[in-house]
Chain A
Amino acid sequence: MTSAIRLSGVSRHYGAVKAVDNIDLDIAEGEFFAMLGPSGSGKTTTLRLIAGFERPTVGEIQIYGEVAQGIPPYKRPVNTVFQDYALFPHLNVRDNVAYGLMVAGVAKYARHKSADDALEMVALGAYGNRSPSELSGGQRQRVALARALVNKPKALLLDEPLGALDLKLREQMQEELKALQRSLGITFVFVTHDQGEALSMADRVAVFNEGRIVQIGTPEDIYYRPESPFVADFVGSSNVLPPRFVAPLIGRQVYGSLRPEAVYLADQGHPAQVTSVSFLGTATRVSITVGDVAMTMLLPKGAAIPKAGDTVQVNWDDADLHLMAAP
């Protein structure tokens, strides 16, 4: 597995603020890699460090084996899809897409042909003469994608590219991006705060919190085997159980996590108080308190639904109770 992008001990500080704090990262060639975290967790800064818009305070960045320090963005073999797309308003769609080729000195006819091919690839072949302001958000997103890919980058960096789209379009673009990445075979580095997006699209996910990477792994790892309460809560919306709750069950002072869908109503189990009930369509979410610990459970369609204020018995399989060594 060849390394496409490698960060070793990289930090980016703004005065006393550690936006990125001692990060190690190894992204493989051809990988679809997601950087997931809440806002302000350092994931976008990390992407900007790779693109070259920011310089690391300390640490080393390598892009395809080449040390990136001192190499300006315009010489790096990566291209970025910006969160706000950053399409040039004074150029039409075709010239926007051809921009990278234009500044590289490609002749007009050739670059327009490449631009039209790239627009064809994102299903906007007929839109070359339009102005970016005439396009919808989803179309602009595709233009930004075509504009980056037409330069044949070794890695594509995407900064919350789907953040501004509505739900339905977002789901459609998720699938298209994934298919595009598979057919092109180039490395995608994808920043998102949406855990569903990261889990459904990425080969591997790095979870960021407060400038650090708290866990790297496959979506299954991250979802089923969180290493810390933060990951359990942020990624899986899991119930994080404090050691005082877990200790009586298994005899060890560790944190536990329990996914909402693993909790079920039972005849025998832990007595719980129902605090609220929300109908979600495919399932019903029930908030309960077990002892003094608040939990949520997801009840599938067709299950008997308790009412707020009811006292019920809940249980779960021991195999679903995941234990976390980290505090």
Chain B
Amino acid sequence: MSTLSGMLTRISDTLWRKPNLLILLLILPPALWLGIIYLGSLFALLAQSFFSIDEFSGVIKYELTLKTYGELFRPSNFDIIVRTVVMAIAVTIGAAIIGFPVAYFAARYARGKWKALFYLGVMMPLWSSYLVKVYSWKLILAKEGILNWMFETLRLGWLLDAYLSIPIIGGNSLSVSATGTFLVFLYVWLPFMILPIQASLERVPHTMLEASGDLGARPYQTFRHVLLPLALPGVIAGSIFTFSLTLGDYIIPQIVGSSRRFIGQAVYAYQGTAGNIPLAAAFAVVPIILMALYLWIAKRQGAFDAL
């Protein structure tokens, strides 16, 4: 017993005298995990994208080439990229517009029980299975679904039909339209937008808003010149989630939406039955590059200055 406690004391004494050793011990496991498992597979993926596939034999040629990246710019593939990026932008903007007031209310007005209720309301959708949520949305949006029924009951069926007849965003019913895909994306990723915005709004002192009003700013000017710039790091953090999650998802567009493919579905299809790992890898690199570009622009625009 005494030798054990004596040993423990010696260890703590050593660690106290050599704080860098402690830091090294703490950081080693996650560093190994990130370095080997995560970054390793990422580089493996990156390397794959520089190989190509022999079109006749379907065998991967292990020679470095940019041919596969060139294929991304073929109209059919490029359409997939554009469609995915537009969807990701739309979902991000939609989530920011809906999420901001919710986050503002939670940060500024909700106290005690109401705050707990807010967290519960925002987080609860994250507890249930992702697939269950997506399928229930398919039911809501289907031709026989509750949304259609509501429009019919309110004698607004013609409005929904007119909307669905718009090309690109429309379709036979909401559940097989790009609008349906958008709504489900919006619902599923919304918590990831609300929580970072709320966290950033919590850090804006109330006197900041009072000072703005005191200096003559109308409420929308206070929002535009003080609240939004100070909450921008949170909005950016949230948009990183919504943007990248939408870019990478392949299940939602599969279940709800038109048959037009998204990047995630393309990756899934090419690495699966098609066996075209290089093209799948090249597709998978696209979101990474887009995110890097996005963060670089956000930083240059001073989005993180208030951090």
B230 within 8 A of A: yes
Q: Are A74 and B229 in contact (CB under 8 A)?
A: no
Which residues in A have their C-beta under 8 angstroms from that of B230?
88-90
Partner of A103, one of B208, B210, B217, B229: B217
Which residues in B have their C-beta under 8 angstroms from that of A88?
208, 211-212, 226, 230
From residue A84, how far is it (CB to closest CB) to chain B in Å?
6
A259 within 8 A of B: no
Max chain B CB contacts within 10 Å: which of A83, A99, A104, A147? A99
Q: Are A72 and B213 in contact (CB under 8 A)?
A: yes
User: Whole-angstrom distance between the alpha carbons of A52 and B210 in the complex?
Assistant: 9
A279 within 8 A of B: no
Which chain B residues in 205-221 approach chain A with CB under 8 Å?
205, 207-208, 210-218, 221
Look across to chain B and name the residue whose beta carbon is closest to the beta carbon of A147: B215
- Known pairs A73-B214, A90-B229, A99-B225; list 7 more (Cβ under 8 Å): A73-B210, A74-B218, A82-B210, A88-B208, A88-B230, A100-B217, A148-B215
How would residues 73 to 89 of chain A score, 1 for a CB under 8 Å from any chain B CB and 0 otherwise? 11100111011101011
From residue A237, how far is it (CB to closest CB) to chain B in Å?
32
15 contacts between A and B (CB under 8 A): A51-B214, A52-B213, A53-B213, A73-B210, A73-B213, A74-B215, A74-B217, A75-B216, A78-B214, A86-B208, A86-B210, A88-B230, A89-B230, A103-B212, A147-B215
Q: Are B213 and A100 in contact (CB under 8 A)?
A: no
From residue A200, how far is it (CB to closest CB) to chain B in Å?
27
Q: Are B207 and A84 in contact (CB under 8 A)?
A: yes
- Also in contact, A89 and B306, with CB within 8 A (given A73-B210, A82-B211, A103-B221): yes
Look across to chain B and name the residue whose beta carbon is closest to the beta carbon of A76: B214
Max chain A CB contacts within 10 Å: which of B205, B207, B229? B207
B152 within 8 A of A: no
Which chain A residues in 80-128 approach chain B with CB under 8 Å?
80, 82-84, 86, 88-90, 99-100, 102-104
Q: Are A90 and B305 in contact (CB under 8 A)?
A: yes
User: Whole-angstrom distance between the alpha carbons of A86 and B305 in the complex?
Assistant: 17
User: Whole-angstrom distance between the alpha carbons of A78 and B212 in the complex?
Assistant: 13
Which residues in B have their C-beta under 8 angstroms from that of A82?
207, 210-211
Q: Are A104 and B208 in contact (CB under 8 A)?
A: no
Which residues in B have their C-beta under 8 angstroms from that of A52?
213
Look across to chain B and name the residue whose beta carbon is closest to the beta carbon of A87: B211
User: Whole-angstrom distance between the alpha carbons of A112 and B230 in the complex?
Assistant: 22
How would residues 120 to 152 of chain A score, 1 for a CB under 8 Å from any chain B CB and 0 otherwise? 000000000000000000000000000110010
Look across to chain A and name the residue whose beta carbon is closest to the beta carbon of B224: A103
Q: Are B210 and A74 in contact (CB under 8 A)?
A: no
Which residues in A have their C-beta under 8 angstroms from that of B229?
90
Which residues in A have their C-beta under 8 angstroms from that of B213?
52-53, 72-74
User: Whole-angstrom distance between the alpha carbons of A193 and B225 in the complex?
Assistant: 33
Which residues in B have their C-beta under 8 angstroms from that of A84?
205, 207
The 5 closest A-B pairs by CB, nearest first: A100-B215, A86-B211, A86-B207, A103-B217, A73-B213
Which chain B residues in 178-229 approach chain A with CB under 8 Å?
205, 207-208, 210-218, 221, 225-226, 229
How would residues 266 to 307 of chain B score, 1 for a CB under 8 Å from any chain A CB and 0 otherwise? 000000000000000000000000000000000000100110
From residue A81, how far is it (CB to closest CB) to chain B in Å?
9
Q: Are B215 and A103 in contact (CB under 8 A)?
A: yes
Partner of B225, one of A83, A86, A103: A103
How would residues 34 to 53 of chain A score, 1 for a CB under 8 Å from any chain B CB and 0 otherwise? 00000000000000000111
Which residues in B have their C-beta under 8 angstroms from that of A86?
205, 207-208, 210-211
User: Whole-angstrom distance between the alpha carbons of A80 and B208 in the complex?
Assistant: 12
Q: Are A99 and B212 in contact (CB under 8 A)?
A: yes
Which residues in A have their C-beta under 8 angstroms from that of B210?
51, 53, 73, 80, 82, 86
Which residues in A have their C-beta under 8 angstroms from that of B207?
82-84, 86
Which residues in B have their C-beta under 8 angstroms from that of A53?
210, 213-214
Look across to chain A and name the residue whose beta carbon is closest to the beta carbon of B305: A90
User: Whole-angstrom distance between the alpha carbons of A74 and B211 in the complex?
Assistant: 9
Q: Are B215 and A99 in contact (CB under 8 A)?
A: yes
Max chain A CB contacts within 10 Å: which of B213, B216, B225, B306? B216
User: Whole-angstrom distance between the alpha carbons of A5 and B67 in the complex?
Assistant: 78
Q: Are A80 and B214 in contact (CB under 8 A)?
A: yes
User: Whole-angstrom distance between the alpha carbons of A108 and B225 in the complex?
Assistant: 15
Q: Are A103 and B216 in contact (CB under 8 A)?
A: yes
Which residues in A have their C-beta under 8 angstroms from that of B205?
84, 86
From residue B8, how far is it (CB to closest CB) to chain A in Å?
43
Q: Are B306 and A90 in contact (CB under 8 A)?
A: yes
From residue A108, how far is it (CB to closest CB) to chain B in Å?
14
How would residues 85 to 120 of chain B score, 1 for a CB under 8 Å from any chain A CB and 0 otherwise? 000000000000000000000000000000000000
Q: Are A151 and B211 in contact (CB under 8 A)?
A: no
Q: Are B216 and A104 in contact (CB under 8 A)?
A: yes
User: Whole-angstrom distance between the alpha carbons of A103 and B218 in the complex?
Assistant: 8
User: Whole-angstrom distance between the alpha carbons of A78 and B210 in the complex?
Assistant: 13
Look across to chain B and name the residue whose beta carbon is closest to the beta carbon of A98: B215
Which residues in B have their C-beta under 8 angstroms from that of A103?
212, 215-218, 221, 225
Which residues in B have their C-beta under 8 angstroms from that of A72?
213
Which residues in A have their C-beta under 8 angstroms from that of B218?
74, 103
